[in-house]
Amino acid sequence: MTSTVAAGIDGSPTSTAAARWAAEEAVRRGASLRLVHAWPWLTDGVASFAEPDDLPEAAQRTLAAAAEEVRAQHPRLTVHTDTVLDAPVDGLVAAAEDADLLVLGSRGLGGFSGLLLGSVSMAVAGRSATPVVVVREPAADRPGSGEVVVGVDAHGAEEEVLAFAFREAALRGARLRAVHGWDLPPLFGYAGGAVPAGEVAQLEALEAKLLSLALAGQRERHPEVEVVEDVRLGAARGLVETSAGAALVVVGRRGRAVELGPRLGRTAHAVLHHAEAPVAVVPHA
């Protein structure tokens, strides 16, 4: 069965960037592209919400414009357009079920200028059973450049996340930077004062060894991928720092539901808000 990359479209500049990024990804994967609009996310840029009677025309106009731009850049790419009559988050989560990847803009027409990530993108990334990529507008100008960066918990590496990151690096012919962020044990904080440099070096060496072990399986499956092992204090900070110039940053999210439904962890939340590159959120067990 042919794979599909989906992109959420709402007429905003960031959703246009998402469509361009998704098209590049579809070409790399040999997949088709599905451009999706979920009511009432769409507006025509004039009002916050289109009137219900105007929805089909507004939706088709916006989707047609996005499809035309994508087809002009990628004439051989199969492009489908689809309007989902559902609330934005529910509609996009449902659309992702039939795709291998869902791509969203970081902030839609209803967003506030001071926010780097809109509520729809945040909610979809926290609920989707399919990997979600969140794209900022400038990222579409360099869709294939730089490293692929993946956040790795060396104490319990998630194979789904690593497999996704290695595949993305292989598709791009890019280097993979595996970033393992670690923190000093609480006992150092209790003791007060400076931490002996020798003890920090020993702990860092142990964390580096754990990272190598965590990567071993995927490195064996993808010998063509050059890997840089990067051990740093602080998981989120390390990923944000290495995101500058990256092609993609990959983070994981637990797929199981918590009391109020699936949510993003602290690292994924911070990276989505502050990374300079597109961010892929990959659910895992």
Q: Tens digits of per-residue pLDDT, 154-171?
A: 888 789 999 999 999 999
Q: Tens digits of per-residue pLDDT, 204-245?
A: 899 999 999 999 999 999 999 999 999 998 878 899 999 998
Tokens of 235: 């998981």
C-alpha distances out from residue 132 to 83, 139, 259, 280, Å: 19, 15, 22, 6
> Can you list the domains of the chain with their CATH numbers?
4-137 (3.40.50.620), 148-284 (3.40.50.12370)
Identify which has the larger pLDDT, 62 or 56.
62
Q: Tens digits of per-residue pLDDT, 86-95?
A: 788 888 999 9
Percent of the chain with pLDDT over 90: 54
Query: Could you tell me the pTM of the whole model?
Result: 0.87
Sign of the dihedral defined by the CA atoms of residues 258, 261, 266, 268, in that order: positive
Question: What pLDDT band is residue 110 in, cutting at 50, 70 and 90?
Answer: very low
Q: In this predicted structure, what is the pLDDT of residue 85?
A: 77
Question: What pLDDT band is residue 176 in, cutting at 50, 70 and 90?
Answer: very high
Helix (H) or strand (E) holding 280: strand 279-284
Which segments within 132-263 are labelled E, that is strand? Answer: 132-135, 148-151, 176-182, 227-233, 248-254
- Amino acid identity of residue 150, one-letter, is V
